[in-house]
Amino acid sequence: MLEISRYETSMKKVFSEQKKFELQLLVEKELAYANYKVGRIPETAFAVIKEKCSPSVVKLERVKEIEKEIHHDLMSVVLAISEQCGEAGGYVHLGATSYDIQDTVRGLQLLEAKELILESITETMKISAELALKYKDLACIGRTHGIHAVPTTYGMKFTNFLNELSLAKKTLENADISFGKMSGAVGTYASFRTMEIERIVLKRLGLNRLPITTQVVSRVVYSNYIYSLGLIATVLDHFAREIRNLQRTEIDEVRESFIKTQVGSSTMPQKRNPEKSERICGLARVIRGNIQTGLDNICLEHERDLTNSSSERVILAETSILTHYILLQMNSVLKSLHLNSEKIKANLYLRKGAQCAENLMIELASKLGRQQAHELLKQLSNEENFIEAVKTNAVIMEFFTTEEIDRILDPINYTGLSSQVVEQALGSLKK
């Protein structure tokens, strides 16, 4: 049994069976209105269809009964409406193919889903900005290739995450999914005799039209949407991995919150695992995997085949729900994130001055030349206590006092322009 219900959010309602059915009724009603406005059906017939296209009249249960007989989901809706409309039922769905309704419904669903995700990522960015400002000057060791490099700050870490979120958010904002269609079986408008019906329907629903469609809206539209969610998920994955690594026992600089009643392991009582961050990383894999399916759905045969239908019933809802879920998870993690200042400081000073060898090399460059200074300090970095090795090196101490060496090799003094970088970035990202 699928366990996606474990990760449900309010996004579930957007893609619920009931919501889809209600939107189908809405689109059928607007189609009847447009047909009436261009003179294809009588006003009396439209009035009946308008009244009956309501979930209080046409029941989803009845639609399912019909589908068991005819094995066509949209035609089941059409027949369920028609049987409530008497003679006016003959005008229901006039001129439309199934995906005139389905893709228009999908446009409405995706607009709502996109808005929910944008709201959540905006909250993630707000929390990240607050953390960046709070820890703007909190020095910590930077790591490249997993190895101690030179000092940075936690303000830099949070600001970089914020920047990546901003880039991903823009990608979603630019992913235009506000499209529907009402152009008939292969997009020629032959059954409608006019483009005016499509114009009326889409305008009333707040949707746009593409320059051309076949039986369906181009799946480039949906693929772009799924990719943008995959990008958001991967940015969250990136920072969740950072949290996980910083929570390692040997590093212990950052910890997810852990409530009193929480259990980390069923057998090891001492365990305190970064489970929310791990969950984010795991679900991001699922979301990225759906990008490939979305791309494959672009390649429909001729004017359309049915290979997209089954997969889209899964990936559009699943990708939207899971992206929304891991955004909410990240918000929860960030709001209660604990920074272990003692361990941050201990790790910063762990290499006993070697973490600032670059700073000393820059100072020595004007005296020995950059390459010679680099080679000398590389050799000294093999010593267990780098700062003592430097202080006992006759070549270096010819140019510096002990106090100057202490200053140069103190990592607190070597965070560069990090404070300025954070402030400028936060100012830029607020715009």
Which of 77-81, 249-253, 271-275 comes out lowest in average pLDDT?
271-275
**Catalytic: which of 10, 257, 265, 341?**
265
Q: Which residues have C-beta within 8 Å of that of residue 343, sequence separation ≥ 6?
A: 251, 252, 253
Contacts of 187 (CB under 8 A, 6+ apart): 181, 212, 213, 214, 215, 303
Q: What residues contact residue 400 under an 8 Å CB cut-off, 6+ apart?
A: 363, 408
- 51 contacts: CB under 8 Å, gap ≥ 6: 57
Q: Give yes or no for residue 271 having a pLDDT over 90.
A: no
CATH 1.10.275.10, the chain: domain bounds: 4-91
Please list the residue range(s) of the chain that carry CATH number 1.20.200.10. Answer: 110-178+215-346
272 pLDDT tier (thresholds 50, 70, 90) = confident
Q: What is the DSSP string of 335-378?
A: HT-EE-HHHHHHHHTTTTTGGGHHHHHHHHHHHH-HHHHHHHHH
Indicate the average pLDDT of the chain. 95
As assigned by CATH, the class of the 110-178+215-346 domain is mainly alpha
Which of 109-118, 139-148, 249-258, 368-377 has the lowest average pLDDT?
249-258
| Section 335-350 average pLDDT | 97
pLDDT of residue 273: 84
Assess whether pLDDT exceeds 70 at residue 183: yes
> How do residues 83-130 score in pLDDT, each as one tens digit?
999 999 999 999 999 999 999 999 999 999 999 999 999 999 999 999
Residue 145 designated active-site: yes
Which pLDDT belongs to residue 1? 38
Distance in angstroms (rounded) separating the CA atoms of residues 240 and 286:
15
Task: Quote the CA–CA distance of 144 and 148 in Å, as a whole number.
Answer: 7
Q: Is the pLDDT of residue 419 over 50?
A: yes
CA distance 148 to 389: 19
Backbone angles phi, psi at 135, to 5 degrees: -110, 30
Q: How far apart are CA 362 and CA 356, in angstroms?
A: 10
Topology of the domain comprising 4-91:
Fumarase C; Chain B, domain 1 (1.10.275)
Residue 2 scores a pLDDT above 60: no
* Structure token pair of residue 425: 């970035």
pLDDT band at 265 (very low <50, low <70, confident <90, very high): low
Per-residue pLDDT reduced to its tens digit, 287-304? 999 999 999 999 999 999
CA-CA distance, 429 to 431, in Å (whole number)?
A: 5
- Tell me the pLDDT tens digit for each residue of 210-225: 999 999 999 999 999 9
Q: Is 223 a catalytic residue?
A: no
Please state the rounded mean pLDDT for residues 51-76: 97
This prediction has a pTM of: 0.94
Is the pLDDT confidence value at 3 over 90? no
Residues 116/160, Cβ–Cβ less than 8 Å: no
394 to 227, 359, 391, 399, 429: CA distances (angstroms): 59, 19, 8, 9, 49
Catalytic residue among 5, 56, 145, 302: 145
